[in-house]
Amino acid sequence: MRLKPLSDCIVVEQDEEVVSSIIFVPGAKKLFSGYVRAIGPGKKLENGKLSNMDVQVGDHIMFGEYTGQTTTIDGKDYLMMRNTEVIGLINE
């Protein structure tokens, strides 16, 4: 992948189907899922160290309906979002 996320950002390849039937989250309209394709090094903390990322490349994640920004890389659509916008991991 030609895109390297910075800070606590991640690149997600979104699934086509909505996963709202897997889990109920009060107040959420729909839940979406996708696979993490790239992650940044973590957010720089005040002490100079990097925060830990909650996800790894290849993880299947869930996120809300209005999460992230869409970008196109090599003709394929991806979502860019922050690590904190991930609301769950889907175990396969």
Query: What CATH number has the domain spanning 9-22+29-84?
Result: 2.30.33.40
- d(Cα 56, Cα 59) in Å, to the nearest integer? 6
Structure-token pair, residue 78: 């991806």
- d(Cα 15, Cα 17) in Å, to the nearest integer? 6
pLDDT of residue 38: 96
pLDDT of residue 8: 96
pLDDT of residue 31: 74
pLDDT of residue 22: 53
- d(Cα 17, Cα 67) in Å, to the nearest integer? 15
Q: Where are the domains of the chain?
A: 9-22+29-84
pLDDT tens-digit profile, the chain (92 residues):
688 999 999 999 998 755 545 555 555 457 789 999 999 999 999 999 999 999 999 999 999 888 999 999 889 999 999 999 999 999 86
